[in-house]
Amino acid sequence: MSDTPDSAVRTYTEHHRAAFLADLAEWLRIPSVSAQPEHAADVRHSAEWLAAKLKETGFPVSEVWETPGAPAVFAEWPAADPAAPTVLVYGHHDVQPAAREDGWHTDPFEPRIIDGRLHARGAADDKGQVFFHTLGVRAHLAATGRTAPAVHLKLLIEGEEESGSPHFRALAEARADRLATDVVVVSDTGMWSETTPTVCTGMRGLADCEIELHGPDQDIHSGSFGGAVPNPATVAARLVAGLHDDAERVTIPGFYDGVTPLTDAERELFAELPFDEAEWLRTAKSHGTLGESGYSTLERIWARPTAEVNGIGGGYQGPGGKTIIPASAMVKLSFRLVAGQDPDAIEVAVSRWIAERVPAGIRYNLTFGASTRPCLTPLDHPALRSVVRAMSRAFDGAKIRFTREGGSGPAADLQDVLGAPVLFLGISVPSDGWHAPDEKVEVDLLLKGVETAAHLWEDLATTLSRSADLPTR
């Protein structure tokens, strides 16, 4: 495998821990919320900050790449050996919206370390997990005595992931030459838990839409007119309620077309994990499970597609009553997709389904966000073994198991465009609260991420050079 002494990586990491955390905190202070136009300048600032930091880290190439939306960052550090394999690390520098009044106990953009946890929007999703690569590559060099990484190392850190990566695929296509790689390493997922380190092998895709429904030209009196005209809030509710049947299966015709079924082997791997429903519910901050009949909770979140309402609104939502038929209502829906589903086909199916269900007298406007493809790492890929070994070393020899992620990322676009397999390397844990108030990252795990990245490049360089024909999918 590799000659890198594990203790050298750990010593280097510990030595630079304080500066690393201080730098990360500086980045987290930039509210790079890509979904909110008022934060456009912050997203740009975040990109510029990162590009400068990567240059300081030692990447000879570090550039801000423009898109029609928010900018991405690209950095490149060639190996000394021109024949070394190439690795492209993917992450994102934009974050979900966050406001103190959503229930945060600290300012979401003023990072605080409390009991070994770094709290801030983006701490885990995804700035923390991008940032461990900066110290990771330095530790790799320090421990091996190299002046350049063992692989041609490239980073592509996008700025629109939390907005559905609307320009990512086009960017990847336009820059395919510079992005060319043997494997993609996605650092935007997590592990099973603090004590069960795992490697993710797949992510769900995503399609989402907003439906605006317009009924009366203004709010009208529910006594004078109620019972005789269509109510757009009722129509909104009927759309949402109609999404599922009694078995919690999605009813939209064609929705399940092409879905890759779970194999028995995969179901067994899932079942090996120390799943505890009560603990999982605590992480989900939920008080009950509900999902598609015939599937376990892990199967439901990792391997089955969903339809979910993210927001619904219409009429009077203030205190007291207001006896109106509202003029309008809105629904935000998102669909998680699994391998074999095509987001474009889903959009067509959803559009047709909605058109059939909106009654006369209600006008509607349907808009889709950018979609994200599902992806799945081949379980037999040799590079996956490298990730497992690197992680096991960082975790003091622990057995590394396999998971999937219910969330979505544009990794599948890189797979498609670059023809390279996708691997996942993430150290976030379910309690990190992605997209939620009080998002945090465990500082100890963040440093395990640094160590894993530090071990990985040497191992991958060896493994990939040995693999003549790499399977791709």
In the region spanning residues 335 to 354, those forming contacts with its own copies, defined by CB under 8 A, are: 336
Distance CA 424, CA 188 (A): 8
Which residue, 246 or 380, is less far from its own copies as judged by CB? 246
DSSP state string for 341-381: --HHHHHHHHHHHHHHHSPTT-EEEEEE---B--EE--TT-
Total residues binding its own copies (CB under 8 A): 100
Cβ atoms of 189 and 92 within 8 Å: the answer is: no
Q: Which residue from 236, 376, 414, 461 is in contact with its own copies, where contact means CB under 8 A?
A: 236
Of 43-51, 70-78, 171-179, 213-221, the segment contacting its own copies by CB under 8 A is: 213-221
Minimum CB–partner distance for residue 187 and its own copies (Å): 16
Q: Which two tokens stand for residue 329?
A: 């209502």
Residue 206 found at the interface with its own copies (CB under 8 A): yes
Q: Which is nearer to its own copies, 27 or 335 (CB)?
A: 335
Query: Residue 321 belongs to what H/E stretch?
Result: none
Identity of the residue, 180 or 240, whose beta carbon is nearer to its own copies in the bound complex: 240
Closest to its own copies by CB, 17 vs 332, is 332
C-alpha 55/C-alpha 387 separation (Å) is 26
Which lies closer to its own copies via its Cβ, residue 236 or residue 418? 236
C-alpha–C-alpha distance, residues 135 and 47, integer Å: 18
Q: Are 42 and 31 in contact (CB under 8 A)?
A: yes
Is the CB of 37 or the CB of 397 nearer to its own copies?
A: 37
Concatenating the DSSP letter of every residue in 97-133 gives ---GGGT-SS-TTS-EEETTEEESTTTTTTHHHHHHH
Among 140, 244, 393, 455, binds its own copies (CB under 8 A): 244
What's the angle, vertex CA 181, arms to CA 178 and CA 183, rounded to 5?
A: 150
Of 84-92, 301-309, 339-347, 378-386, which segment contacts its own copies by CB under 8 A? 301-309
For residue 152 the two structure tokens come to 């041609």
Q: Which stretch binds its own copies (CB under 8 A): 129-137, 143-151, 208-216, 254-262?
A: 208-216
Choosing from 40, 61, 174, 309, the residue that interacts with its own copies (CB under 8 A) is 309
Give the per-residue contact string, 263-282, with its own copies (x = CB under 8 A; - = no).
------------------x-
In the region spanning residues 428 to 457, those forming contacts with its own copies, defined by CB under 8 A, are 430, 433-438
Q: Which stretch binds its own copies (CB under 8 A): 22-30, 34-42, 43-51, 170-178?
A: 34-42
Token duo for residue 34: 């890509």
CB closer to its own copies out of 225 and 396: 225
Please report whether residue 240 would count as binding its own copies according to CB under 8 A: yes
Using CB under 8 A as the binding rule, whether residue 289 contacts its own copies is answered as yes
Which among 127, 147, 122 is positioned nearest to 58, based on CA atoms?
147
Give the footprint of its own copies on residues 372-431 (CB under 8 A): 405-408, 430
Q: According to CB under 8 A, which residues from 55 to 114 bind its own copies?
A: 96-97, 102-103
- Minimum distance, C-beta of residue 297 to its own copies, in the bound complex (Å): 5
- Per CB under 8 A, the list member of 241, 265, 278, 468 interacting with its own copies is 241
Cβ atoms within 10 Å, residue 145: 9
* CB nearer to its own copies: pick between 370 and 418: 370
Q: Answer yes or no whether residue 292 interacts with its own copies by CB under 8 A.
A: yes
CA 273 → CA 197, 277, 292, 416, distances in Å? 11, 12, 20, 30
Longest dimension (CA), the chain: 82
Q: Which residues of 311-334 are buried (b: 16+ CB within 10 A; e: fewer)?
A: ebebbeeeeeeeebbbbbbbbebb
Task: Please identify which residue in 51, 362, 387, 417 interacts with its own copies, judged by CB under 8 A.
Answer: 362
CB nearer to its own copies: pick between 197 and 406:
406
Draw the binding track, 132-171, toward its own copies (x: CB under 8 A; -: no contact). -------------------------------xx-------
Give me the sheet containing 328-337, strands edge to edge: 328-337, 205-214, 363-368
> What is the pairing mode between strands 183-186 and 86-92?
parallel
